[in-house]
């Protein structure tokens, strides 16, 4: 199973939580709670990967902690 970085932010404008998978361009989801947005982004990631595979697009390798370091987030090892 591939593990991609997930970011979840609260949106005042949408009155809910937006989750994105920054390693997968355009992959995002919405939920009224953090938990719902997390569930929905997992579905979106599966759909993104399935579509990319069917279309023969390159699938990015998950970068995990490496990605977080690149964007300047503190990561404990």
Query: End-to-end CA distance of the chain, in Å?
Result: 21
Q: What DSSP letter does each residue of the chain carry, written as one string? A: ------EEEEETTTTEEEEE-TTSTT-EEEESSHHHHHHHHHHHHHHHHHHHHHHTPPPPPP-THHHHHHTT-----
CA angle 16, 21, 27 (to 5 degrees): 80
**Structural domain boundaries, residue 11:** 7-70
pTM value is: 0.79
CATH number for the domain harbouring residue 30? 3.30.160.250
Say what the pLDDT of residue 3 is. Answer: 87
Q: Indicate whether 75 belongs to any domain.
A: no
Say what the pLDDT of residue 67 is. Answer: 59
From first to last of its 77 residues, the chain has per-residue pLDDT tens of 578 999 999 999 999 999 999 999 999 999 999 999 999 999 999 999 999 999 999 999 888 665 556 656 544 44
- Domain count for the chain, please give it: 1
């Amino acid at each position: 199973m591939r593990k991609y970085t997930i970011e979840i932010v609260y949106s005042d404008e949408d009155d809910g939580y937006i989750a994105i998978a920054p390693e997968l361009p355009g992959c995002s989801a919405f939920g009224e709670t953090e938990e719902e947005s997390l569930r929905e982004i997992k579905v979106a990631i599966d759909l993104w990967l399935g579509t990319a595979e069917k279309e023969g697009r390159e699938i990015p390798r998950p970068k995990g902690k490496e990605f977080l370091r690149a964007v300047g987030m503190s990561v404990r090892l």
